[in-house]
Amino acid sequence: MTDAGYDEWLDAVDDGEGFYLACPEGHGSLPPRRVCPHCGSADLDHADLPTAGTVETFTICYVGGPDFADEEPYATAIADFGDVRLTGVVRGVDPEEVTVGMPVEAAVGTNRTTGDDLLILRAR
Amino acid sequence: MTGVRVAGVGLTHFGRHPERTGRDLFGEAALAAREESGVDPEDIESINYGNFMGSLAERQGHQAPLMAEMAGLQCPATRYEEACASAGVAIREAVRAVRSGEADVMLAGGCERMTNLSTADVTEGLATAADELYEIRAGMTFPGAYALMARAYFESFGGEREDLAHVAVKNHDNALPNEYAQFHRAITVDEVLDAPMVSDPVGLLDACPVTDGASALVLVSDEYAEANGLDAPVSITGSGQGGDNLALHDREHLAVTPATERAAAEAYDDAGCAADDVDLVEVHDCFTIAEVLAIEGLGFYDHGEGIGAARRGETTATGDLPVNLSGGLKAKGHPVGATGGSQIAEMTRLLRGDHPNSDHVEDATVGVTHNAGGTVASAVVHVLEVDR
């Protein structure tokens, strides 16, 4: 299955050219969008995703769905990247060692159960 | 605009019913509501039915006309889906239909069958209420989503797991005398803290159970109640609904639920009341942190103050503002598509005085119910008042 907008975005992150959508009001969002989800502006431009983000909150998931059976336990976090936040599986550190405020970068990994591409937040 | 009265309520026991299908459960609840209401079945004009994941759990889409059959009714029937707030929106739309004069008698409620699925399949089914691209693919589960909100709450406002444990203990205590509740077992703070972790900091006893069950209400106009001599002292006087971005990471704050605030503002305005007038509440406590977010979003507490409410005894059965006297989702159970109807049925019983916990709120006149979908991307709030 392809997802217009999302797959291109994930490829861009994988190529080190991550971006987000910015509206004239300064709101950030992630594709696919036709309008800004915060103000409704249809004037959306690509802006560079900052290289580094920081973990704002996280969980260590001991019971996942079938698609994550081979990942448990894993940490999922929401990280602040300036005008946008990203949700992803944290890699590059033990789940138990993830902390709020920890610096991360966005990258693409592989879901160990399904083999699909996966947004990951890699510890820096 | 006419008033809307609750003429009858029907509930199944909430729990594990492996031998029963959704249609059987809803049939039981609908017939109970019909019987209690005393309305002529031919007068029921439409059914508004809430269900979330029946297509996954029972391979049964198009459930609403099936449920009409099971209720012994030949009338239009429509399914409403808003994740865990499915029955909340089904009832809200029934209220609007009666108020507008389009209908005098509606049957509304919901049903969910869940325990026939494995834990992994339930986890996956419930996760479909989150953003598929950005949350489900990132390993987010529902306990995981509320764990993210709980940790964000601790970071922003303070509080700790022990505060949340008091919410679970309180709601289990409230469920003890409730014949419809899944759990009839008191628990201790230490048991909650020592329970296996599901998604840190959400432990097993911070989470509602997986539940089968159904709820139904017969709603009538004031004029119909009077003309037919119905004994229906409880009215739904306020209704509100709020929305928010689906994905948690798109919200302004990760531990604040503006959808609840918007729904509450609309419902209070509609009823002509304020948070201060409310005597008791049933809130959407799918996880212990969810009760905290709800009582803050409903305006009973400032942000950061709600987390200590159960521990201080303010929201217990004998406190100033009893929260979830039914046992809540936490202990009564959470058959997701039925929950919003169950909350209004329980509130009706509490206000009428025929609930086993009514003694705690003998003089209560105003009750509020709060039903949330997903990580509160949807919220439905109702105000109920009883003739005294």
Q: Is residue B77 part of a domain?
A: yes
Read off the DSSP letter of residue B203. Answer: E
- State the pLDDT at residue A1: 46
Mutate to test the interface with A, among B249, B289, B293, B375 (most CBs of A within 10 A): B249
Q: Are residues B306 and B186 in the same domain?
A: yes
Q: Are residues B244 and B231 in the same domain?
A: no
**pTM higher than 0.90 for the full model?**
yes
Q: Is residue B127 part of a domain?
A: no
Q: Are residues B223 and B323 in the same domain?
A: no
Mutate to test the interface with A, among B133, B154, B204, B287 (most CBs of A within 10 A): B133
User: What CATH number did the domain enclosing B146 receive?
Assistant: 3.40.47.10
Percent helix, strand, coil in chain B (nearest 5)?
Answer: 40, 20, 40
Q: Are residues B147 and B281 in the same domain?
A: yes
Q: Is residue B303 part of a domain?
A: yes
Task: Set out the domains of chain A in order of their start, with CATH numbers.
Answer: 1-49 (no CATH), 51-124 (2.40.50)
Q: Mean pLDDT across chain A, nearest whole number?
A: 95
Selecting from B120, B135, B200 the residue whose C-beta is nearest the C-beta of A66 gives: B120
Give B111-133 pLDDT, tens digit per residue: 999 999 999 899 989 999 999 99
pLDDT band with cut points at 50, 70 and 90 for residue A3: low
Q: Is residue B163 part of a domain?
A: yes
Q: Are residues B46 and B187 in the same domain?
A: no
Cβ atoms A87, A107 nearer than 8 A: no
ipTM of predicted complex: 0.97
pLDDT band with cut points at 50, 70 and 90 for residue B191: very high
- State the pLDDT at residue B1: 82
Mean pLDDT value of segment B186-208: 98
Query: pLDDT exceeding 90 applies to what percent of chain A?
Result: 93
- CB burial string B120-145: b at 16+ within 10 A, e below: bbbbbbbbbbbbebbbbbbbbbbbbb
Q: At residue B388, does pLDDT exceed 90?
A: no
Which residue, A108, A109, A48, A107, is CA-closest to A82? A48
Q: Is residue B125 part of a domain?
A: no
In whole angstroms, what is the distance from residue B180 CA to residue B173 CA?
14
Q: Are residues B73 and B98 in the same domain?
A: yes
Q: Is residue B388 part of a domain?
A: no
Q: Are residues B195 and B53 in the same domain?
A: no
Q: Which of A18-27, A59-68, B47-56 has the lowest mean pLDDT?
A: A59-68
In whole angstroms, what is the distance from residue B118 CA to residue B112 CA?
15
Q: Is residue B73 part of a domain?
A: yes
Q: In terms of CA atoms, which chain A residue is nearest residue B247?
A: A87
Q: Are residues B39 and B113 in the same domain?
A: yes
Mean pLDDT value of segment B41-45: 98
Residues of A in contact with B248 (CB under 8 A): 78, 87
Q: Are residues B102 and B189 in the same domain?
A: no
- State the pLDDT at residue B68: 98
Q: Are residues B201 and B220 in the same domain?
A: no
Give B235-287 pLDDT, tens digit per residue: 999 999 999 999 999 999 999 999 999 999 999 999 999 999 999 999 999 99
H or E, element range at B114:
none
Q: At residue B203, does pLDDT exceed 90?
A: yes
| Structural domain harbouring B377 | 132-207+237-383
Q: Mean pLDDT across chain B, nearest whole number?
A: 97
Count: domains in chain B: 2
Residues of A in contact with B129 (CB under 8 A): none
Residues belonging to chain A with any Cβ–Cβ distance to chain B shorter than 8 Å: 3, 6, 29-30, 37, 56-69, 71, 74, 76-78, 84-89, 100, 111, 116, 118-119
Q: Is residue B126 part of a domain?
A: no
Residues of A in contact with B134 (CB under 8 A): 30, 86-87, 119
Mean pLDDT value of segment B356-370: 98
Q: Are residues B95 and B140 in the same domain?
A: no
Specify whether B334 is catalytic: yes
Give B50-89 pLDDT, tens digit per residue: 999 999 999 999 999 999 999 999 999 999 999 999 999 9
Exposed (0-12), middle (13-18) or buried (19+): which is B352, by Cβ within 10 Å? middle
- State the pLDDT at residue B355: 98
In whole angstroms, what is the distance from residue A28 CA to residue A6 CA?
15
Strands B4-11 and A28-29: what pairing?
unpaired
From the candidates B284, B334, B355, B370, give the one annotated as an active-site residue: B334
CB-based contacts of B174-177 (< 8 A; 24+ apart in sequence):
B174/B317, B174/B322, B174/B324, B174/B325, B174/B326, B174/B327, B174/B328, B174/B331, B174/B357, B175/B326, B175/B327, B175/B328, B175/B331, B175/B332, B176/B327, B177/B356, B177/B357
Q: Are residues B289 and B278 in the same domain?
A: yes
Mean pLDDT value of segment A52-77: 95
Which residue, B242, B373, B287, B139, is CA-closest to A86? B139
